[in-house]
Amino acid sequence: LEDIVEDIFLDLLPASCTTKYFTSKRSSFDIFTRIENILLALGAEVVRTPTEASFSDLKSHIGVAFRLQKELPNAIILDQYTNIANPLEHYDKTAEELLYALDDNLDVLVAGAGTGGTISGIGHKLKEIVGVDPIGSILSDPEHNEVSAYEVEGIGYDFIPTVLDRDIIDLWMRSNDKDSFETSRLLAKHEGLLC
C-alpha cells in the first residue's frame, strides 16, 4: 500500500506484484491522472480520497491506506511519515548524490517539506537548510495551526510527521500556489526540470 500516488510512481513497483493498492488525494492536475492510468495499466487499484480530509480523518489518503492494510491479507505500508528509513535513505543516498554532482560545492539547499524525510536526511548531511512550506500548511509553524486549502502537491501538511526534524531547518519560507506553479513552469521551460 502506498498513500502518496506520485511517490510510488517514481518507484513503479514491478508489474509481477499480485496486488497493489494506492490511495490518492483528488487532484485537478492532469499529470496525476496519467500516473493513475499507468498504475492501473500495471494492475494496481487506485482509491481516490478527498483532498480536504485532514491527516487524522479516516477518509484521508493515510486513513484509507491504514484501513486497507487491516482489511487486505499480507498488506504492508512503508509509512514514510514515521519510518526512520525515509530520512536515512536521503542522508545516505540523495545527499551523497547532490554532493557528488556538485563536487562538494553546495552552499544552501532550498527544498520543499512534505513528510520531512528528504529535507531532514539531506539536512543532517549538509547544513544550511531552507524549508519551503505552502501557505495553509503547519509544518513551518505548528503553533499557528490554521490549516487552509492549497493546490501544491507533495509538500505541506496539517500535522507534523514523525520523521520531520524541524531543528535541522535554518529558515522557513512560505509559498503560495500562484508563485509555485509559475516557478515550476519556468524551471521546466528554461532548465528542463520537472518539479
Which domains does the chain carry? Answer: 5-71 (no CATH), 85-191 (3.40.50.1100)
Range with the poorest average pLDDT among 90-94, 119-123, 186-190: 186-190
pLDDT value, residue 7: 56
Q: Which three cell numbers stand for residue 20?
A: 497493489
Q: What is the pLDDT of residues 136-156, one digit of tens each?
A: 998 998 887 788 888 888 888
Residue type, 174: R
pLDDT value, residue 129: 86
Q: What is the pLDDT of residues 6-38, one digit of tens each?
A: 455 445 555 445 445 555 555 555 667 777 787
Sign of the alpha-carbon dihedral angle for 23, 39, 4, 121: positive
Q: What is the pLDDT of residues 151-181, one digit of tens each?
A: 888 888 888 999 999 999 999 999 999 999 9
DSSP H stretches of helix in the chain:
5-11, 30-41, 61-71, 85-89, 95-101, 117-125, 177-191
Nearest CA among 100, 57, 99, 68 for reference residue 3: 68
The reply to whether the predicted model has a pTM over 0.85 is no
